Amino acid sequence: MVTRLGVNIDHVATLRQARSGHEPEPVAAGLMAQSAGAHGITVHLRADRRHIQERDIRLLREVLVVPLNVECAATVDALEAIIPLKPHWVTLVPETREELTTQGGLDAIFLQTSLKSVIRELRASDIHVSLFIDPQLDQVKMASRLEADAVEFNTGVYADLPLGADPSGELQRLKESARLAERVGLKVLAGHGLTLHNVGPVVAIPEITELNIGHSIVGRAVLVGLEAAVKEMLAAMNQGRA
């Protein structure tokens, strides 16, 4: 079984917004990643619109043939912006204005009341819902109780371990959480901070069927081109899975 790769193209838009202009075009990046073998495209519509804009999502939805996944905060404003754009998936993430990137997973237990209505609204609009959570059994159980379609496990803690630190504890948490998530019928994804160098042990967890990877692919793309960067990540994933 191949582990699917969702390419997050936010940072193509970050580069465009640096000059508030037209280049580089995230829609072109989405198409290029798709033709290089990406199984899905992910973007994060942030409240401050620091990179991806509604217009990017509208155009991506129109031109892509692979599923489009939009990450957003579980807020009324985000839903009002995203539901009319009809992405295939929405991934609910915690979001604060000060952060450079998503910090940690959602606390689905603390937020259960608000998440319940957000999930219901998205599903009523024929949009599949994934919750970005830390690899903890209680969070998985709550995601299942809230009737999410999928969970995406935060690999940020694993990815940020200092050089030489033993990753086995964090990998074990990912394995146990992935096993439970699959058992209760959730689709299982993972992502955050994954690179060519650390993706192997994550892709080797059989219950994880899809990874969302952004910064390292777009960073490599600056040096080797986007198509090559996607292909080398797919190759690293195949090797890790084997």
Return the number of the residue (29 or 213) whose C-beta is nearest ligand PXP. Answer: 213
In terms of Cβ atoms closer than 10 Å to its own Cβ (0-12, 13-18, 19+), residue 123 is: middle
If one asks whether residue 72 binds ligand PXP (CB under 6 A), the answer comes out as no
Residue closer to ligand PXP, measured from CB, 27 or 70? 70
Q: Which of 214, 221, 236, 237 is in the footprint of ligand PXP by CB under 6 A?
A: 214
Which of 21-29, 60-68, 210-218, 234-242 is the region at the interface with ligand PXP (rule: CB under 6 A)? 210-218
Q: Which is nearer to ligand PXP, 44 or 220 (CB)?
A: 44
Q: Which residues does residue 139 pair with via DSSP β-bridges, in sequence order? A: none
Question: Out of 11, 39, 44, 51, which one is annotated catalytic?
Answer: 44
Please, are residues 140 and 186 in contact by the beta-carbon 8 Å criterion?
yes
209 is a contact residue toward ligand PXP (CB under 6 A)? no
**Does residue 54 carry a catalytic annotation?**
no
Per CB under 6 A, the segment of 57-65, 138-146, 176-184, 206-214 that binds ligand PXP is 206-214
Contact flag: residue 17 with ligand PXP (CB under 6 A): no
Q: How far apart are CA 4 and CA 112, in angstroms?
A: 29
Contacts with ligand PXP by CB under 6 A: the residue count is 19
For Cα atoms 107, 113, 114, give the angle at the middle one, nearest 5 degrees.
80
Tokens linked to 82:
């995203």
Member of 9, 13, 181, 213 binding ligand PXP (CB under 6 A):
213
**Buried/exposed code over 70-109 (b: 16+ C-beta within 10 A; e: otherwise):** bbbbbeeebbebbbebebbbbbbbbbeeeeeebeebbbbb
Is residue 40 a contact residue for ligand PXP (CB under 6 A)?
no
Q: How far apart are CA 62 and CA 87, in angstroms?
A: 10
Rounded distance, CA 242 to CA 115, Å?
37
Please confirm, yes or no, whether 71 is among the known catalytic residues. Answer: yes
Q: CA gyration radius for the chain? A: 17
192 is catalytic: yes
The answer to whether residue 240 forms part of the interface with ligand PXP (CB under 6 A) is no
Q: Which is nearer to ligand PXP, 209 or 212 (CB)?
A: 212
